[in-house]
Chains A and B, each alone.
Chain A
């Protein structure tokens, strides 16, 4: 598949989900909210692109597992995390957006336990994302 690359900096959000659940996950709104208010460069030079994949599939689905991968040469951080499946099943779009906010904040909160990114202030990003989304 050859597609033109979009923004090589900032936040990029997408989802991998069961069709009926994916319809509730508004990734464009989430991406726009982050990119309109936050700049990764304000938190250090260690990350220029954060690609976040919301997984809306059961954890037992072996095709799509969570992962965190940092590429130092490109200063690129890729994160894939499961939304809480049972909550997503009964959520409407608004509630699904809250679940997305919760998951991103929770992930960033624990990123300091993840060592490879140099010169990036996850604690400050956590505070700013929290203030922005809640």
Chain B
């Protein structure tokens, strides 16, 4: 958003080839763009030097309040996660990371492409990347991050035994979209 804003400011305006009036002297001082850049740099420096350690009432070092709040939020986010499966929206060709001799695989509708886990901190991440994939996102399990990762791991390992995999001439060790077992 900011980049777009900056880019719009940087697009040169149309040049008048025939001046209608004598050129005016340029005002002294910097352009607004310089001012904005300076502000951004100052803000970045400010963030980088923001105090992350404070002293408590006895003079002992402790995490600054903003760091404590950030930690707590990130811990809370790990308490809320979901394990999902991406399945084929229609029959077609999909990338395959677990095929022994091919980089693609034919999947039928509803067949599994990948298992995954997302935590609250990543909400919406997968929805954005669903576009152009021919995949649907189905929530299979909700819990904390550890529970969801266990569930994901069980499903990745047991994928090998699913009928949709056993019917293949060479069954896959894990779903085509899972590069690893985790």
Contact = CB atoms under 8 A, between A and B. Distances in A.
B132 A17 contact: no
A15 interface: yes
B131 A28 contact: no
A58 to B, nearest CB: 10
Contacts, number: 81
B145 interface: no
B137 A28 contact: no
B137 A15 contact: yes
Given A1-B177, A4-B132, A14-B89, A63 B82 contact: yes
Interface residues on A, range: 20 to 34
Contacts of A22: 136-138
A96 to B, nearest CB: 13
B123 interface: yes
A118 interface: no
A62 B139 contact: no
Interface of B: 4, 80, 82, 85, 89-90, 94-95, 109-110, 114, 118, 120, 123-124, 126-127, 129-140, 177
Given A1-B133, A19-B140, 11 more contacts: A1-B177, A3-B133, A12-B131, A15-B137, A16-B127, A16-B137, A22-B136, A28-B89, A28-B109, A63-B124, A78-B131
